[in-house]
Copies of this chain bind each other. A is one copy, B any other.
Amino acid sequence: MGITQTEGGVTAPKGFQAAAAAAGIKYQGRNDMAMIYSEAPCAGAGVFTTNIVKAAPVKWDKNVVDTSEYVQAIVVNSGIANACTGAEGDSCCRQTAQAAARALGIPADSVLVASTGVIGAQLPIDKVTAGVQLLARGLGSDRAHSISAAEAIMTTDTKKKETAVTFSLGGKTVTMGGMCKGSGMIHPNMATMLCFVTTDAAISHEMLQKALSADVEDTFNMISVDGDTSTNDSVLVLANGMAKNPEITEENEDYRLFCQALNQVMTALSQMIAGDGEGCTCLFEVKAAGCADKAQAKILAKSVVTSSLTKAAIFGHDANWGRILCAMGYSGADFDPEKVDIYFESAAGSLKIVENGVSTGYSEETATRILSQEKVTCIMDVKMGEASATAWGCDLTFDYVKINADYRS
């Protein structure tokens, strides 16, 4: 469809700059703040946690996205989440945005803020505002700057997460880039997930929000269980129009291509989060096929990908299909267990392990070889229709427990 994977992240599109800084908020000896800045005002869109307990930056950003004329910068910190922090937490967001506004010469209500880290602690606001000064002075649009920014927002992540694509709209080359942080957990998005997408496409605020809201259903919400969201989860998209394509203001062909590009970027970033689960050793992809409708397919795929017993079995390279059928059975979706086929696939091959609800008498040795890869796919066919859905997660390992028992100390 004319969408090409390219090098880079949030600074790949025209007019976007990024920076990282070591503000000493909680971590020592590493960058813990990042900034994204657009030379031109942007249409902005956001999707946020559905948790009743919303961190201060989520409340700030939702208001900015809904009411500001435009957005132009994002300030992010890692180490402290600024969640459950009351009025002082709200004030921190305002002071951070005001500091960035002064340093960049833009309105405070065009500055988005995001935080990730420990819940309940207050941000050291003096360090944050000092960090904002460093960020504004350090902005740059080259590859090194996007790498540093992607690294600065990591918490328990083991790898930075960036991607970018180019495509053509109305004869103009358009670029879209993104970075994110997050670790797939037992319930994947109980960890804070932050995602920032930039594009030089020209698109209205309304259409950008529509595209983003629809896309998260098939991407970030498929590495999560509905409702099991952290206090800080945020996906923010900025579009500055500097590619000079005809502005997208309705659901035309350009809009559909834009949505495909957004899906490609968000799917890549979702898989990076799922595959970098805390302590995990593999990306676990689960496809529910042959379903009566998409809703059923999503419920089945998510139930299996979040089953702790299944995830522990994947870590052990054990084709424990009983746990998969069990997780399908308690998902709440209706199906006939005696019609289910189950397959495992990876770079090492493909194997049908269950047919009509019972074992095919497959080779355990072959199964173990297939399960010993960096990406493992499980396909469940319930033979009820044509709908399907894919969810992403990871295996459950010793290190997951270690990370989460020790995280705060």
Contact = CB atoms under 8 A, between A and B. Distances in A.
A316 interface: yes
A128 B323 CA distance: 24
Contacts of A316: 404-409
Nearest to A89: B358
Nearest to A187: B308
Taking the full assembly, how many copies of this chain does it contain?
2
Contacts of A401: 312, 315, 396-398, 400-401
Interface in A237-276: none
Given A312-B405, A318-B408, A231 B326 contact: yes
Interface in A356-380: 357-359
Contacts of A170: none
A194 interface: no
A185 B309 contact: yes
Interface stretch (A173-181, A202-210, A328-336, A343-351): A328-336
Interface residues of A, number: 60
A86 B331 CA distance: 21
A118 B323 CA distance: 9
A359 B326 contact: no
Interface string A222-235: 00000111110000
Given A86-B338, A190-B330, 8 more contacts: A53-B337, A83-B322, A120-B321, A231-B325, A231-B326, A315-B401, A318-B408, A320-B408
